[in-house]
Amino acid sequence: MISKVVFGEPVRTDAITAEVETAKEAARFEVTEDEKSVTFRYALRSRDVVYGLGETMGKVNKRGGRYISFNTDTADHTDANPSLYASHNFIVVDGEETFGAFFDTPARVVFEIDWHDSGEIRVVCETRDLSLYQIEGGSAYEVCRELIRAVGRCYLPPLWAFGYGQSRFGYETEKDFRAVADGYQENGIPLDYICMDIDYMDGYRDFSFNEKSFPDIAAFVSEMKGRGIRLVPIVDAGIKVEPGESVYEEGVQKGTFCRNREGGYFQAGVWPGMTHFPDFLNSRARAWFGGLYKFYTDAGFEGFWNDMNEPAMFYNEYSRGFKNVLFRLALDLLFGNRQREKKERELLRGYKSFYHDMDGRRVRHYDVHNLFGGMMTRATSEGLEKLLDHRFMLFSRSSYIGASRYGGVWTGDNSSRWEHLMLNVRHMPSLNMCGFLYSGADTGGFGGNCDRELLLRWLAFSAFTPLMRNHTGKFTRDQEAYRFGDVEAFRKIIGLRYRLLPYIYSEYMKAALRADMYIKPVAFVYPEARGIEDQLLVGDSLMIAPVVTQGAGGRRVFVPEDMTRVRYDGEFRCEPAPKGWHDVDVALDQVVLYIRRGKLLPVGKAITNTAEYDVSELTLLGDGESYELYTDDGLTRDCKPENIRILTK
Ligand code: GLC
């Protein structure tokens, strides 16, 4: 049962699409208001678990932490940092009382959850205008499903978006992209797409190509597609201020950019220098921006990643001092924290000095900050719906609840650290709780230098995340899977992803079409696994227990009921795994997974590209009797819950 309590006059976030009854007051929280904020408190019992918050730091159980919803461009993915790129203000209390609460406001929200052992949840919404959605009844899992249902149908990617992709900040020319495609194909390692980072652009301008590097972009897209490889360009939020350039001129003329204090167009410094931000909170500006992707779809592109949409800004028109990106980055390096604090203050001042026209309602950016990235995804998605007659790949860095209807997310600039592999493991169920099914992290890590062991273990986990993309930063070591000596182990583990595709694609599509989660905590089905965060349920049949520790030749695994253990070493080897704790060896070139009792896992033949996807001969592993295989053509929009074929042993 879901109901909402309205405070003041909330702006439209469109996070929830279901009709929801209005309740008079908050059922579970003690509420206090002052001129600037509304505070919600709930007394926790000692055994209560608190789930949710999607993309935040901390654990899957959010107790003991302080989290701030304020979308931030940050590479500091440590518990010292209260804000990442997204705001997913949904929590679930699971204990003597089980209920969910979604604090629907794009303003800054502070969550203190048993912070400093206070024994309570304290949520401070820094606005007087918000809707509180409260979900009552059932288990934590049912509460999450109720929210996902209320958000509305999740984004449906094409089959190829479930393939493996390679990316790097630094690929510049056709030659670079061909070399990556060659590297994979010559080594027999599967690959479906390569992302194009900002270096494809002319001077980092969206909707442009460096013509020296790409003399005939449409021909190049088609050449790569002929090899089974889609190219996926990045699109940043800001449009370069440059009189004479068509996109800039059009935006100025149509009035689709955000305004500054004086009524002019606000200027913020990002990769290309000074830019204007499209007003994604305005429906006319969204329609305009979405239509701009014609530039890419005309050249044959079918997938995109939207970035810098918190929005990130290195400086802005009101900043003091030098307005040069490289010079500013150098200052950061030289003066460290002092510079950082100054920059944070400057950023906040910037967010407070520009305005949106929310279809007639003028709002200060700071007060609706957390909506910006998600609305960029919406603009893109609605544009692509019109431009293409089939599904497309789309994922974004910044998001707000509801954006899952339009595209996926990736979790931003992590690093090549074991802690960040574990963070990826924690993010996945939390994102799914908030409806973000199509998600993943930069496999191998964005910052720093990945080594062979970390990349293999990370791939072995990413093999189960819908978005499986290896991405790294500009000055890091080469991170393509063929750059780490003997490629056999990489071929095997990425190959496993492709053998599991019939299952991964089916489970994703069924979850998306049935308002379900694709990845969930083990405790959502097996309460005795409460507290276990390094094992996950993937779809309806599988439990995984990734190795997330350096030097470990395996790990301890809790098997919550009798299951089938499958060891993949190029072949699938099944053996019984009785209920209880097990010490399990997992060699670096192996993946061990667990099939739940009474369930089946369909596996396909070895393929190296989704173009070879074939469900005509599947092997069914496990002791179940039947499996619901979801099938469609993987590309058109003909995705119906009835596209099910029952497979029996
Ligand atoms: C941001 C993105 C990263 C990208 C870089 C350059 O840091 O998060 O993925 O590579 O910008 O575009």
Q: Read off the CATH number of the domain in which 71 is found.
A: 2.60.40.1760
Domain end: 131, 151, 171, which one? 151
Ligand 1 contact, 170 CB (< 6 A): no
Residues 6+ apart with CB under 8 A from 142: none
CA 240–ligand 1 middle distance (angstroms):
17
- 538 within some domain: yes
CA 436–ligand 1 middle distance (angstroms):
20
407: confidence class by pLDDT, cuts 50, 70, 90: very high
Closest Cα to atom 3, ligand 1: which residue?
A: 413
- Do residues 565 and 542 lie in contact, with contact meaning Cβ atoms separated by under 8 Å? no
Ligand 1 contact, 555 CB (< 6 A): no
Tens of pLDDT, residue by residue over 185-200, are: 999 999 999 999 999 9
Domain end: 151, 169, 189, which one? 151
- 59 within some domain: yes
- 335 within some domain: no
Ligand 1 contact, 74 CB (< 6 A): no
Q: Best substitution site from 197, 396, 409 to test ligand 1's pocket, by max atoms within 8 Å of Cβ?
A: 197
Report d(CA 581, CA 114) in Å as an integer. Answer: 30
pLDDT at 239: 98
Ligand 1 contact, 201 CB (< 6 A): no
Residues in a beta bridge with 648 = 626
pLDDT at 242 exceeding the cut of 70:
yes
Ligand 1 contact, 412 CB (< 6 A): yes
pLDDT at 325 exceeding the cut of 90:
no
User: CATH number for the domain including 596?
Assistant: 2.60.40.4040
Ligand 1 contact, 234 CB (< 6 A): yes
Closest Cα to atom 5, ligand 1: which residue?
A: 169
Query: How much is the average pLDDT of 424-430?
Result: 98
CA 460–ligand 1 middle distance (angstroms):
24
pLDDT at 321 exceeding the cut of 80:
no
Ligand 1 contact, 318 CB (< 6 A): no
Ligand 1 contact, 413 CB (< 6 A): yes
Structure tokens at 608: 């190296």
Q: Best substitution site from 326, 413, 474, 479 to test ligand 1's pocket, by max atoms within 8 Å of Cβ?
A: 413
Q: What is the dihedral of CA 176, 177, 183, 185, to 10 degrees?
A: -160
Ligand 1 contact, 480 CB (< 6 A): no
- 300 within some domain: no
Mean pLDDT of the chain: 97
Could you give the angle at which helices 452-462 and 418-433 cross, rounded to 10 degrees?
10
Burial class (CB in 10 A: 0-12, 13-18, 19+), 620: middle
- 426 within some domain: no
Report d(CA 565, CA 557) in Å as an integer. Answer: 11
- 100 within some domain: yes
DSSP string, 343-387: HHHHHHHHHTTEEEEETTEEEEHHHHGGGHHHHHHHHHHHHHHHH
339 phi and psi angles, rounded to 5 deg = -65, -35
Ligand 1 contact, 397 CB (< 6 A): yes
Shortest-distance atom of ligand 1 to CA 474: 10
Ligand 1 contact, 441 CB (< 6 A): no
330: confidence class by pLDDT, cuts 50, 70, 90: confident
Q: Tell which residue, 158, 160, 176, has the closest CA to residue 220.
A: 176
Ligand 1 contact, 169 CB (< 6 A): yes
pLDDT at 342 exceeding the cut of 90:
no
Shortest-distance atom of ligand 1 to CA 397: 8
Ligand 1 contact, 198 CB (< 6 A): yes
Q: Is the peptide bond before 311 cis (omega within 30 degrees of 0)?
A: yes
- 474 within some domain: no
Query: Which of helix, strand or coil describes residue 542?
Result: strand
Q: Tell which residue, 571, 582, 504, 513, has the closest CA to residue 540.
A: 504
Domain end: 151, 168, 202, which one? 151
pLDDT at 287 exceeding the cut of 90:
yes
Residues 6+ apart with CB under 8 A from 416: 444, 445, 446, 447, 448, 449, 450, 451, 454, 472, 476
CA 171–ligand 1 middle distance (angstroms):
12
Question: What whole-number percentage of the chain has pLDDT above 90?
Answer: 95
Closest Cα to atom 10, ligand 1: which residue?
A: 169
232: confidence class by pLDDT, cuts 50, 70, 90: very high
Domain residues for 33?
A: 2-151
184: confidence class by pLDDT, cuts 50, 70, 90: very high
Long-range residue pairs from 616-620, CB within 8 A, at least 24 positions apart, any chain:
618/502, 618/647, 619/572, 620/647, 620/649
Shortest-distance atom of ligand 1 to CA 168: 10
Residue 215 DSSP class: T
CA 307–ligand 1 middle distance (angstroms):
7
Amino acid at 207: F
Question: What whole-number percentage of the chain has pLDDT above 70?
Answer: 98
Query: How much is the average pLDDT of 134-143?
Result: 96
Ligand 1 contact, 310 CB (< 6 A): no
- 91 within some domain: yes
pLDDT at 458 exceeding the cut of 80:
yes
pLDDT at 324 exceeding the cut of 80:
no
Ligand 1 contact, 52 CB (< 6 A): no
Place of tokens 């201020």: 241
Tell me how many domains the chain contains.
2
Tens of pLDDT, residue by residue over 196-219, are: 999 999 999 999 999 999 999 999
pLDDT at 322: 61
CA 236–ligand 1 middle distance (angstroms):
9
Query: Which of helix, strand or coil describes residue 389?
Result: coil
Q: Best substitution site from 446, 469, 479 to test ligand 1's pocket, by max atoms within 8 Å of Cβ?
A: 446
pLDDT at 333 exceeding the cut of 80:
no
pLDDT at 532: 98
pLDDT at 341: 79
Tens of pLDDT, residue by residue over 76-101, are: 999 999 999 999 999 999 999 999 99
Shortest-distance atom of ligand 1 to CA 446: 9
Query: Which of helix, strand or coil describes residue 144?
Result: helix
Report d(CA 460, CA 547) in Å as an integer. Answer: 8
Shortest-distance atom of ligand 1 to CA 169: 10
pLDDT at 338: 65
Residues 6+ apart with CB under 8 A from 14: 378, 402
